[in-house]
Amino acid sequence: MKKIFDYKTEWSGLKNRMAQMFNSKSGRTVLLAVDHGYFQGAPAGLEDLRKTIEPLLPFCDAVSPTIGGLKSSFNPWVKTPIILRATGGNSMRKPAELDDEIVTVSVQEMVNLNAIGFTTSCYIGLPHQTDTIANLTTLTDEAHRYGLISIGITAVGSDPVLGKFVKGEREDGGELTAEDKKDALKYLKHACRVVSENGADIVKTYYCDGFEEVVEACLAPIVIAGGTKRPTKEALEFTYNAVKAGAIGVDMGRNIFQNENPVAMIQAVRAVVHDNMTAAQALDLYNSLKGKK
Ligand code: 5RP
């Protein structure tokens, strides 16, 4: 595992902001992603953002909203560290152009809003690859002057071939074949390496079989997104497998807030990430917590 606390030992604002979002005992993080509205509108589970986040905030180490989500739905007194979504300009209404993103939040605004860092999507292999890498490099360059954390996401837009690696299933809903899994590994290894070479402090990507190789290839520590909502057992399994393979946590959205029991799910994910619980143990925990207030 590439540990976040392997960072150079002298004081820096960047390191101190890392310390805010990483658990000092496990060295890992549970980052809650609630930024989906920037291109999805109001997806299931985020229709009422305030209602969704309030019960989940006590269980995450940091939270990642959009600027609009933060200003409209967060209590200004919240203590949870904020990682702002910093790019957008796309929407599901133009699926063919999902990889065409611009910077939507300035670094000055991030500082003003007391964000500790930002996320930006890099669409590796897609038509707007260069522009989205430029978003990462430009934002990182400026954000690092103020010690803010840069998280680069290996995003796939509406590409049908790449999309199945995110969904964990084929377009027709069938299981991924051995060939698909090989392609996913090859693609994610490449994309994570590219994003890290371009300066992201942390890379957010999707889990795939052989994930150790993705971790090994990537120059920066990795957190996993959850992707499309999967059954609880499966989501806990890929979380466990990713952490075992060396991921330093999750930046997860739909598999938490779209779960039938989001508060139980985030605690189960936490138990895997911070307490080294197996997926089976975390599922037992989930079952014992579900339905409880
Ligand atoms: C898109 C994104 C998301 O909006 C989101 O953060 C993904 O999280 P999840 O897949 O766990 O719902 O990163 O590229």
Tokens for 261, please give them.
Answer: 């029991």
Three-class SS string for the chain? CCCHHHCCCCCCHHHHHHHHHCCCCCCCEEEEECCCHHHHCCCCCCCCHHHHHHHHHHHCCEEECCHHHHHHHCCCCCCCCEEEECEECCCCCCHHHCCCCEECCCHHHHHHCCCCEEEEEECCCCCCHHHHHHHHHHHHHHHHHCCCEEEEEECCCCCHHHHHHHHCCCCCCCCCCHHHHHHHHHHHHHHHHHHHHCCCCEEEECCCCCHHHHHHHCCCCEEECCCCCCCHHHHHHHHHHHHHCCCCEEEECHHHHCCCCHHHHHHHHHHHHHHCCCHHHHHHHHHHHCCCC
Q: Whose CA is nearest to atom 6 of ligand 1?
A: 33
Q: Whose CA is nearest to atom 1 of ligand 1?
A: 155
Report how far ligand 1's centroid is from the alpha carbon of 32 (Å).
10
Q: Is the pLDDT of residue 7 over 60?
A: no
Q: Which residues contact 170 (CB under 8 A, 6 or more apart)?
A: 164, 176, 177, 180
186 flagged as catalytic: no
Q: Is the pLDDT of residue 6 over 70?
A: no
Active-site residue, selected from the candidate residues 204, 229, 233, 290: 204
Q: Is the pLDDT of residue 9 over 80?
A: no
Where does the pLDDT of residue 40 fall: very low under 50, low under 70, confident under 90, or very high at 90 and above?
Answer: very high
Q: What is the pLDDT of residues 117-168, one digit of tens each?
A: 999 999 999 999 999 999 999 999 999 999 999 999 999 998 888 888 877 7
Q: What is the pLDDT of residue 168?
A: 79
Q: Which residues contact 19 (CB under 8 A, 6 or more apart)?
A: none
Which one of 35, 202, 230, 273 would you pick to mutate in the ligand 1 pocket, going by the greatest count of ligand atoms within 8 A of its CB?
35
Nearest to 256 by CA among 56, 38, 48: 56
Q: Is the pLDDT of residue 287 over 80?
A: yes
The verdict on the CB of residue 193 being under 6 Å from ligand 1 is no
Q: What is the pLDDT of residues 163-208, one digit of tens each?
A: 888 777 888 888 889 999 999 999 999 999 999 999 999 999 999 9
Q: What is the pLDDT of residue 158?
A: 87
What's the burial of 26, exposed, middle or buried (CB within 10 Å: 0-12/13-18/19+)? middle
Ligand 1 atom showing the smallest separation from residue 204 Cα:
13
Report how far ligand 1's centroid is from the alpha carbon of 281 (Å).
26
Query: Hunting for tokens 């799910």 — which residue is that?
Result: 265
Report how far ligand 1's centroid is from the alpha carbon of 225 (Å).
6
Q: What is the pLDDT of residues 64-122, one digit of tens each?
A: 999 999 999 999 999 999 999 999 999 999 999 999 999 999 999 999 999 999 999 99
Ligand 1 atom showing the smallest separation from residue 225 Cα:
11
The verdict on the CB of residue 252 being under 6 Å from ligand 1 is yes
The verdict on the CB of residue 36 being under 6 Å from ligand 1 is yes
The verdict on the CB of residue 226 being under 6 Å from ligand 1 is yes
Percent of the chain with pLDDT over 70: 97
- The mean pLDDT value of the chain amounts to 95
Alpha-carbon distance 143 to 138, whole Å? 9
Query: Topology of domain 13-259, per CATH?
Result: TIM Barrel (3.20.20)
Cα–Cα distance list, 214 to 71, 95, 129, 238 (Å): 36, 28, 20, 14
Alpha-carbon distance 56 to 52, whole Å? 7
Pairing of strands 249-252, 29-33: parallel
Q: What is the pLDDT of residues 242-266, one digit of tens each?
A: 999 999 999 999 999 999 999 999 9
Q: What is the pLDDT of residue 163?
A: 87
Query: Hunting for tokens 């540990």 — which residue is that?
Result: 3
Q: What is the pLDDT of residue 178?
A: 93
Where does the pLDDT of residue 291 fall: very low under 50, low under 70, confident under 90, or very high at 90 and above?
Answer: confident
Given a contact cutoff of 8 angstroms between Cβ atoms, the answer to whether 28 and 22 are in contact is yes
Q: Whose CA is nearest to atom 2 of ligand 1?
A: 36
State phi, psi for 137 to the nearest 5 degrees.
Answer: -70, -40
Q: Is the pLDDT of residue 56 over 70?
A: yes
